[in-house]
Structure 1
Amino acid sequence: MKKFGKVLAFILVTVFVLAGCAGGAKESKKTETVKLGVVGANNEVWESVKEQLKKENINLEIVEFSDYTQPNAALSEKEIDLNSFQHQIFLDNYNLEHKTDLVSIGNTVSAPLGIYSDKLKDVKELKDGAEIAIPNDATNGGRALLLLQTAGLIKVDPAKKQTPTVNDITENKQKLKITELDASQTARALQDIDASVINSGMAVDAGLVPNKDAIFLEPVDETSKPYVNIIVAREADKDNAVYKKIVEAYQQDGTKKVIKETSKGASIPAWETFGKN
């Protein structure tokens, strides 16, 4: 009987241990859902990353927003977990204005800003008094003005650095009319104006090919670093292990191929040029 008791005890212990291991294994396979906010409908890159993340038991839920004003508010209010639509200057300005603590956790792409026109083939064809649309938010508007300066169309106050406004234009020999529009409207306005400065994502969504259709494209060099697109989280979540896996899944060779195909070569993998963070 003693012997039988020992055998029975051994069997029971073994069963409990195996059950515990099975439970732990089952729990380790639990899928975690992460909501990622984006702007626009051109999200093939993130869809490919989403497929990769399934191997890590991460369900990436892509939440689309129609303009740049919404994703940071949604992230701050914990309606989403991450977002990916903006560059560092835009984020810095948002944090300053709204007293939020959102932070970058990884670089995605460098997407050059472009000047587009339905009527012209070159910026040199712009006539005196021509109308040019630019985004109306502080950071993209400033970037657009700097692009017009690089194109030789205007000059702005250098003291304003990356965020000049139309009031900081110091030279406008052609008396160009600068019209400020919501970034989502800059592509739609092409039929009504002479030229428009359009963000790369908005241009692609509108069926434009930046490398082909832009009459002037922003150069990619060290001055482009502040405009690298980023993945953003709340400051309290900057070291979240799951979010880090999402960044790692994005910064892969497979993602590079999708970026090249979907952006028609206009977007550049920023983690190779400017680092992963």
Structure 2
Amino acid sequence: MPDTSPTGSSSTGPDLVEAPRRRRWPLVLGALVALAVVAGVVVATTGDDDSAAAGETVRIGVVGASDPYWATYEEAAADAGIDVEIIDFSDYNQPNPAVSEGELDLNQFQHIVFLADYNVASGDDLQPIGATAIYPLGLHSKQYDAVEEIPDGATVAVPNDASNQARALVLLQSAGLIELESGGTIFSDLADVDTDASRVQVEALDAALTATSLDDLAGAVVNNDFVERAGLDFDDALAQDDPNDANALPYANVFAARAGDLDDATYLQLVEIYQETQAVQDGVVEVSGGTAVMLDTPVEDLQDSLAKVESDTRAQQD
């Protein structure tokens, strides 16, 4: 993004004002024109628009750029005078480093727990600047129509990334398929599964593979991003968690930015466009099979939740 400080303007201004007294009029006019140009640069770089992205294309990383609501979002942003480019990723591990390294300006693909895990593991400090939605996590199967039909000893898959794995394991426990020795927390992993007390075996797979592996599994917990891509129906989930639960805030999906960009006017406007454009909101709900719960949670609450999860994560590692 461009440097918006008035670099060089302070030294150029005095040179023009203190030019030699003996001038011909063309020189005077030339100096005045130059001064006007410099003044224009100063106004352009220090004026009312305090956005680092003013006049530039804002690059936003997402997982699932082919979802129709992103095109609607780009159009709504263009109507507001903001050029947005949506960059697609298939790997959850890529969009955060891309923001940190300046390849992206924002990303929107993750919930707070995932962001906290990334920040703690990498030593980074990406921050949420706005909420989008909470998506319930669902247990799907191609072989069985009810949880009770899944036989003892069968294998069920969960995502292998830490935050979604913990959430998936808690879901399996709620469905009566496994028991977790800790009782179930945002830090639960496969080692927390009480195998003797559990009905099924649990296998961890890349989130993108849980759905596509269902032919070989009794069931799998599938992230919303991959449900329809795998030809599954949201309504066919055998079980799902409750996005309206008071403890669900850490699983709110967010726009994430570098810590230094939290007050960027353009970025904050882009959050408002997402939250206030009804066609975008309707599109998100439609793509989620009607499961998404749309949010406009105060940014302070999101950042407080992130700080709490990060603190708990560090304590868990000690």
TM-score by length of structure 1 reads 0.84
Structure 1 residue 42: Cα displacement: 4.1
Structure 1 residue 177: Cα displacement: 1.6
Structure 1 residue 105: Cα displacement: 0.4
Structure 1 residue 275: Cα displacement: 4.7
Deviations 1:31-86 (A, max 9, x none): 43100001134432222111111122211101101111111111111111100110
Structure 1 residue 97: Cα displacement: 0.3
Determine helix, strand or coil for the equivalent of 1:84.
strand
Structure 1 pair 254/134, CA: closer, same or farther in 2 (3 Å)? same
Provide the C-alpha distance between the structure 2 equivalents of 1:190 and 1:159, rounded to a whole number of angstroms. 27
Unaligned runs of 5+ in 2: 1-31, 303-318
Residue 117 (1) aligns with residue 141 (2)? yes
Residue 256 (1) aligns with residue 281 (2)? yes
Worse-matched range after superposition: 39-48 or 103-112: 39-48
Matched with 1:71 is 95
Deviations 1:189-226 (A, max 9, x none): 0111110000111113323232x121112122212211
Matched with 1:144 is 168
- 1:83·1:231 contact (CA, 8 Å) conserved in 2? yes
Match of 2:117 among 82, 86, 93: 93
Worse-matched range after superposition: 186-195 or 215-224: 215-224
Provide the C-alpha distance between the structure 2 equivalents of 1:113 and 1:126, rounded to a whole number of angstroms. 18
Provide the C-alpha distance between the structure 1 equivalents of 2:264 and 2:66, rounded to a whole number of angstroms. 27
Structure 1 pair 173/127, CA: closer, same or farther in 2 (3 Å)? farther
Determine helix, strand or coil for the equivalent of 2:213.
helix
Residue 215 (1) aligns with residue 234 (2)? no
Unaligned runs of 5+ in 1: 1-12
- 2:169·2:184 contact (CA, 8 Å) conserved in 1? no
Structure 1 pair 49/168, CA: closer, same or farther in 2 (3 Å)? same
Match of 1:54 among 67, 75, 78: 78
Matched with 1:7 is none
Structure 1 residue 154: Cα displacement: 1.4
Give the partner amino acid of 1:222: A
Provide the C-alpha distance between the structure 2 equivalents of 1:77 and 1:208, rounded to a whole number of angstroms. 36
Greater strand percent: which structure?
Answer: 1
Give the partner amino acid of 2:80: E
Matched with 2:188 is 164
- Percent identity, please: 38
Matched with 1:5 is none
Structure 1 residue 89: Cα displacement: 0.5
Structure 1 pair 153/275, CA: closer, same or farther in 2 (3 Å)? farther
Determine helix, strand or coil for the equivalent of 2:250.
helix
- 1:110·1:269 contact (CA, 8 Å) conserved in 2? yes
Determine helix, strand or coil for the equivalent of 1:155.
coil
Give the partner amino acid of 2:241: E
Determine helix, strand or coil for the equivalent of 1:185.
coil
Worse-matched range after superposition: 55-64 or 166-175: 166-175
Determine helix, strand or coil for the equivalent of 1:106.
strand
- 2:136·2:241 contact (CA, 8 Å) conserved in 1? yes
Residue 265 (1) aligns with residue 290 (2)? yes
Give the partner amino acid of 2:238: I
| RMSD, matched Cα | 2.4
Q: How many residues align?
A: 254
1:215-234 correspondence to structure 2 within 5 Å: 215-220=238-243, 221-234=245-258
- 1:135·1:182 contact (CA, 8 Å) conserved in 2? yes
Question: Which portions of structure 1, spanning 4 or more consecutive aligned residues, are displaced by more than 4 angstroms?
Answer: 274-277
Structure 1 residue 91: Cα displacement: 0.4
